[in-house]
Chain A
Amino acid sequence: MEKISQSVVKKDHAPKVSGRSIYVADYPPEGVLCGKLLHSKVARAKILGVEVPKLPEGYFYVDARDVPGDNNVNIVLDDTPVFCRDTVEYIGEPIAMICGPDEKEVIRLRDECKVAYEELEPVLDFYSADEKFFDYNFGHGDVDKAFAEADKTYEEEFETGYQEQAYLETQGMMAEPEEGGRMFVHGSSQCAYYIHGAVMRALGCGPTGVHIKQDVTGGGFGGKEAFPSILGCQVAVAARKCGKPVRCVFDRREDMEYTSKRHPSFCRYKAAVKDGRVTALDIDVKFNAGAYSTLSAVVLQRGIIASPGIYNIPNVRVHGSAVKTNTSPCGAYRGFGGPQTFFAVEMFMSHIARDLGREPLEFKRTHLVKQGDQTSTCGKYHFPVPIPDMIDEVVRESDFENKRREYAKAQTGRYRRGIGMSMYFHGAGFTGAGERDLIKAVARLRKYKDGRVEVLASNGDIGQGVRTTFPKIVANELNLPLDQVFYEHPDTARVPDSGPTVASRSLMIVGELLRRAAIKLREQWKDGEEQEVEEHYKEPDFVIPFYIDKFEGDAYPTYAWAVNAIELEIDTYTGVARVLGAYGSFDVGTPVDYNVVMGQMEGGFLQGIGYASIEKMDYDSKGRIRNNSLSDYLIPTTMDVPRLKCMLHVEKYPDGPYGAKGAGELPLVGAPAAYLEAVEQALGGMKLNHAPFTAEDTLSAITKEVN
């Protein structure tokens, strides 16, 4: 193992395990007002008025009229209001905030607010919803010709459901007015500068009128990419009106029901096959965006770019849309659109193979992309594609081929087994030209007189370890002990904008800036002096420029790759599936800390298995999410996958620090397809098309088969 990969104790280990870390809810309540949101109870309505109970002294009612700047939260577009406009568009939409010193009293006042709704017909049927927030088309080759010349064509539909991030710490933000009119906003978050931009706009102030700090954050998984911008604006507006600090921390039910989740998807895939090869794919991807567009544009882009999978298909046509329904806006969640389309394409390829009388693994192998091939967006796979070797690793570790053969034989009795495999990538870093055109990351190092070095960047540690891995890179270049280099939670008043904590980019992009900055500092190091160095992002020369209007070019400079196998046993009396083993080979380049990366791989893989199997969430005929607690929405525990074997395959990326690529999101993406393929085999070769596939789904599939 390389020196940089050797594990160290995480910098935040001791305060976290000893319970000394201060989360936003932990700041003493003295002098801080508690804020509680008044949420819409209906999915779509005109607000005729709100009858507010008489407020005791020191209590405040805050709504859109109190927004000093613009009542639109800047995310990708600006359609999400800080507080609702004349209408509410989903159950849970914030109408107002009640603030006051006593939490119980605030809740009582909030609950006594009488909202007069003039109800409007909500759009809840995702399949027929046709108001498109985003609509993209791209492709290459001649799809129609390929279909005309095909030996055989296929068409199938695939669906995936919501997935809730279920971070340990719920959403929470706090705003404190400072002297001179400046507003200080801090809380549980991933992207300090996103919040900075949003709050500036809501308060109508310049960049120095507000500063944002990330507090210790109990998990994000994407759920704290955009949402804290909205909540940050709300507490900032409230604090401005009240003239006091205001803190709003969601309870679990509020969080699960009203905050962003993974987009449900509906995909229609068509394939043309000629001489045993898929010659064309015609793909239609539809995501349920919810009531406002938030991050749907970029989630959809990542989803559709990945929609042909990791296969070299000469003719591809992709149409993708994100439609509006009157439900909670969906947003970022680890994988960011990829899990939906990789599920569809992996299942589709497997089904085609079986129809052709071929083993899915062998069939997929003959279609794999390799270095130099064209990507779905006419970019290029610039670096070696290690998938064939990774397949071998997973096959060996899981005894895949023997089991696959064994379980293909007719099974009788109560318990039946199956094994399945998936293969996929996660594009490392922002999609398209975002890194070059929008983010333009800047990172800094400050050396103090005593020789300690501080990392100045805006990436938040959300458990993925950047407070440890960033200093590790810098310490490595400067030959300093790790305790001489430190990285605090970012405060926009102190750190440059090195971009958001998203897209598995922090280590690969910002880590490399810090590595270069450290080299620069090394070259000009003067003992006893305070020094500062800065590095700016520059797109690598090899990158083929990406243009979003035509969806052409390198959507990503490089890719993290993975192969998963899942083996399970189905109880045909109860439908319950027991995972016997989950095997993953993951290429995230050089691990900058082995334990950190393995923690990510195992946790993400388990989250993916939850997404495939038990994590079911839906809204009812009124647009309400009913299972809004952790006893009604179950996520897997370690008892559910006792044998979880993760392996690292290292294909170095020359432009990442020491060869590191994006890691965080990769392990979640492929589990559903591997899981479902295993269920299909256990059930005697059924074709399944939706995830999650629950025990109830299994039993109903068995019952249908029998009848």
Chain B
Amino acid sequence: MVNGYAAASLAEALEIRSNQKVVPYAGGTDLMVENRSGVDYLFLGKIPELRNINEDDEYIRIGAAVTFTQALEDKKVPALMKEALKRIAAPAIRNAGTFGGNLGNGSAKADSVLIEFVSDARLRLASRDKERIVDVDKFYLGRKKLDLAADELIVEILLPRTGLDRYSYEKVGGRNALAISRVSFAGIFDERDGRITKLAAAFGAVADTVLRYKDLEETMLGKTLDEARELKEKYLEGYAERMVLTQGRVSAEYRKKVCMNLLGDFLAKFGI
């Protein structure tokens, strides 16, 4: 039989987590698909500290048990994140599914995670005795592999408050609703005084983890649009060379072609 724990506070949850081998969950939408026998579960969906969306000077802080619907209705959540959220599954799933669960599943197809990658989000993790903050790309180690200790929980997602306004977002699913991403793309552009200050591009659902190549992005930073246009071919070649994609529900060739098309479209959209 499955043993279930329901924690009323974060402290209680961390206490259980430190003593028991448990699989944490909140919305339970993934358990509807894969409910393993012989596993003990820890329910986090009713913990007040995990269900808030706050902001400070630097970050929008989204609790791990915040549902997608809750985030969609919150003015603090940036438009780019909402673009991704509103195409997750269907309303019933969005009502239950949470940010922490999307991360914790360890899938490169997770739609909210792509936005966290492209926006340099950080995660606040906690165990009973300590707390740490980790960059999302350091947290995601590979397919189903996370930098999360057995006694830790994801507490908050820290999304930068600024610099997310000029973006591209694309999701290619097998259909218009209730579809797992086959390719997803998010790009963020920013400039100051005619020079590029940000050109982030992240690709979801095409490899074991979300792909982002910061060294390639850096080649464009500080450049004017004219200079960027000249560098464009080389920049795209860099991506074409680096992106080694996996075959899944669609072929690797298809994914690559789509990724390159969407990256090109993103550049064109901002005059590059």
A residues with CB within 8 A of B: 414, 573-576, 578, 614, 627, 631-632, 634, 636-637, 639-640, 695-696, 699-700, 703
Contact = CB atoms under 8 A, between A and B. Distances in A.
A700 B251 CA distance: 11
Nearest to B249: A632
A614 B175 contact: yes
B178 A700 contact: no
B105 to A, nearest CB: 14
Contacts, number: 48
B148 interface: no
16 contacts: A414-B265, A573-B258, A573-B262, A573-B265, A574-B172, A574-B183, A574-B262, A575-B254, A576-B172, A627-B249, A631-B33, A637-B176, A637-B178, A640-B175, A696-B254, A700-B253
B250 A634 contact: no
Contacts of A631: 33, 180
A390 B257 CA distance: 42
Contacts of B183: 574
Contacts of B163: none
Nearest to B257: A699
A637 B176 CA distance: 8
Contacts of A632: 249
A696 B179 CA distance: 16
B174 interface: yes
A131 B158 CA distance: 64
B259 to A, nearest CB: 10
Contacts of A575: 254, 258
A426 to B, nearest CB: 26
A644 to B, nearest CB: 13
A696 B261 contact: no
Interface in B70-113: 90
Contacts of A414: 265
B261 A637 contact: no
Contacts of B179: 634
Interface of B: 33, 90, 170, 172, 174-180, 183, 249-251, 253-254, 257-258, 261-262, 265
Contact of A699 (B33, B175, B180, B254): B254
Contacts of B174: 614, 634
A575 B176 CA distance: 14
A632 to B, nearest CB: 6
A188 to B, nearest CB: 23
Given A637-B176, A639-B176, A695-B172, 13 more contacts: A574-B262, A575-B258, A578-B176, A627-B249, A634-B175, A634-B179, A637-B178, A640-B176, A695-B250, A696-B250, A696-B254, A699-B254, A700-B254
Given A573-B262, A574-B262, A614-B175, A703 B180 contact: no
A696 B251 contact: yes
B63 to A, nearest CB: 28
Please name the 4 residue pairs, one residue from A and one from B, whose CB atoms are nearest each other, closest first: A573-B261, A639-B177, A639-B176, A634-B174
A356 B253 CA distance: 36
Given A573-B261, A632-B249, A637 B175 contact: yes
A574 B254 CA distance: 9
Contacts of A627: 249
A414 B262 CA distance: 11
Contacts of A634: 174-175, 179
A216 to B, nearest CB: 24
A538 B178 CA distance: 49
Nearest to A697: B254
A574 B258 contact: yes
Nearest to B33: A631
A372 B265 CA distance: 57
Contacts of B265: 414, 573
Nearest to B180: A631
Nearest to B179: A634
Greatest chain A CB density within 10 A among B172, B174, B177 is at B174
B251 to A, nearest CB: 6
Contacts of A637: 90, 175-178
Contacts of A576: 172
A239 B262 CA distance: 59
A574 B176 contact: no
A414 B258 CA distance: 12
B258 A699 contact: yes
B268 to A, nearest CB: 10
Contacts of B261: 573-574
A451 to B, nearest CB: 46
Contacts of A573: 258, 261-262, 265
A581 to B, nearest CB: 15
Nearest to B262: A573
Contacts of A699: 254, 257-258
Nearest to B182: A695
A289 B157 CA distance: 54
Nearest to A571: B172
Contacts of A639: 175-177
B87 to A, nearest CB: 10
Contacts of A696: 250-251, 254
A576 B262 CA distance: 13
Contact of A703 (B172, B249, B257): B257
A574 B264 CA distance: 12
B33 to A, nearest CB: 8
Contacts of B172: 574, 576, 695
